[in-house]
């Protein structure tokens, strides 16, 4: 879209005077279409962030617009004191996706809707405590949210320190080390309620679990009657080339948390559980006013209908195509991840500079660490757009290297 703001509204300039100082926005965006967004000055950017892996179907998807408009003309909100069709339909679709074709699992699965990934993980945390056990084991460097409960599960001391003391009972293990985790469990297996981890750690720099690790965690949990909680907030909804990233190893967690791509840009989170874990909540034991909002569920229904097996196969192919293109780019030492959740590992700590320079080349990037550029574009991005993205990133890194050389000189 080649448009620009005509009313001279200075959103960037007025942002800091109106909002708390928790973000530092880089652009004033006014519209989007597919995998592109347009800034107030009319510049069009290729969006490789997708609202941090949120806009699964891209910007302004016509089916999402139609579903949301249809629902909001009926009603926007009635609370969970009343049932409504969009909420039930999305829950039923999620039950089927979670079960991977197993009718017994589908029958025993229940869904709790909320508004975000952090809230989904709060719900999972509470489920763990309702087992009657107290210990929850979480991965070092993992990220599960910024509310007090989800932050307690987050294995990043720099994010936790200012808010301690946090809810207790959480202990941290090295991600990917099954022997260490087994020893931790055996210290007090009888009081270990749950193990929570991400199939691919996102905020740390797109770090996949080692092959076989999820299956080993599943076996460990089965051995000791421990809940296996998979945080699929970022990895779920087709992002990694499977609808759920845990399916890559053919395992089934007891609990899965979701958000981000599920609502195609509208706020929605979900906590799915099957078997005994699905029965732990009772009336009044947990709740949220806006969870399962009918408008968000209308959007989620479109997402679930669109992201089928053919769609995720295309995501896998696109990820492989882009990975192959990036492996030949100077300065990129490794491409981590799967599908369209990828981390470009750089040979020097300039990822944050690359994000800034990227805007000059018309590409939106993200740097979860100094040496990693995270790639999480809309899943509808085309192969041709990915080729353009690869060319622009190569140009960005060339500019960053040249600037570094000039500074050193």
DSSP codes joined into one string, 177-229: -HHHHHHHHHHSGGGEEEEEE-SEE-TTT-EEPPTTHHHHHHHHHHHHT-EEE
DSSP-derived 3-state class of residue 382: coil
Chain CA centroid to CA 375, Å? 12
Q: What residues contact residue 315 under an 8 Å CB cut-off, 6+ apart?
A: 238, 239, 240, 241, 339, 340, 379
Question: Nearest Cα to 355, choosing from 399, 409, 405?
Answer: 399
Tokens of 224: 């000791």
Sequence-ordered strand ranges (E) for 63-134: 110-114
Which residue in 350, 363, 362 sits closest to 397, CA to CA? 350
Residues marked as binding? 117-118, 143, 146, 231-234, 288-289
Name every residue whose Cβ is closer than 8 Å to that of residue 179 and which is 6 or more positions away in sequence: none
The DSSP code sequence of 139-168 is EBT----SSHHHHHT-B-HHHHGGGPSPPS
C-alpha 11/C-alpha 6 separation (Å) is: 13
- The three-class DSSP label of residue 76 is coil
Which amino acids are annotated as binding site for pyridoxal 5'-phosphate, given as ranges? Answer: 117-118, 143, 231-234, 289
Instruction: Provide the token pair at 238.
Output: 């087709």
106 token code pair? 């589908």
DSSP structure class, residue 59: B
Q: Are strands 227-231 and 200-201 parallel, antiparallel or unpaired?
A: unpaired
Binding residues for N(2)-acetyl-L-ornithine: 146, 288
């Amino acid at each position: 879209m080649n448009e620009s703001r005509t009313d001279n509204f200075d959103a960037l300039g007025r942002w800091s005077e109106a909002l708390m100082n928790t973000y530092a926005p880089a652009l004033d965006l006014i519209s989007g279409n597919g995998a592109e967004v347009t800034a107030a000055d009319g510049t069009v950017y290729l969006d490789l962030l997708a609202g941090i892996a949120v806009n699964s179907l891209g910007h302004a998807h016509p089916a999402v617009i139609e579903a949301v408009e249809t629902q909001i003309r009926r009603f926007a909100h009635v609370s969970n004191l009343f049932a409504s069709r969009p909420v039930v339909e999305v829950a039923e679709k999620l039950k089927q996706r979670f079960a991977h074709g197993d009718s017994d699992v589908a029958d025993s699965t229940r869904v709790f809707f909320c508004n975000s990934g952090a809230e989904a993980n709060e719900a999972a945390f509470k489920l763990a405590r309702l087992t009657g056990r107290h210990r929850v084991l979480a991965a070092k460097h993992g990220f599960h949210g910024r509310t007090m409960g989800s932050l307690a599960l987050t294995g990043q001391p720099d994010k936790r320190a200012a808010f301690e003391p946090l809810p207790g009972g959480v202990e941290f293990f090295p991600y990917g080390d099954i022997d260490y985790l087994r020893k931790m469990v055996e210290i007090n297996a009888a009081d270990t309620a749950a193990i929570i981890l991400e199939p691919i750690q996102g905020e740390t720099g797109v770090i996949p679990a080692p092959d076989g690790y999820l299956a080993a965690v599943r076996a460990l949990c089965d051995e000791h009657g421990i809940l296996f909680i998979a945080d699929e907030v970022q990895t779920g909804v087709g992002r990694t080339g499977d609808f759920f990233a845990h399916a890559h190893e053919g395992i089934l967690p007891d609990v899965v948390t979701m958000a981000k791509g599920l609502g195609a840009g509208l706020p929605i989170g979900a906590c799915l559980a099957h078997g005994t874990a699905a029965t732990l909540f009772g009336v009044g034991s947990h709740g949220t006013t806006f969870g399962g909002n009918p408008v968000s569920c209308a959007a989620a229904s479109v997402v679930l209908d669109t992201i089928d097996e053919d769609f995720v196969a295309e995501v896998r192919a696109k990820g492989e195509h882009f990975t192959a293109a990036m492996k030949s780019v100077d300065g990129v030492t490794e491409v981590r991840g799967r599908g369209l959740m990828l981390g470009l590992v750089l040979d020097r700590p300039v990822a944050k500079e690359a994000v800034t320079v990227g805007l000059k080349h018309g590409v939106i990037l993200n740097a979860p660490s100094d040496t990693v550029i995270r790639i999480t574009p809309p899943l509808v991005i085309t192969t041709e757009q990915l080729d353009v993205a690869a060319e622009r990133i190569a140009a960005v890194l060339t500019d960053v290297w040249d600037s570094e050389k000039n500074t050193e000189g």
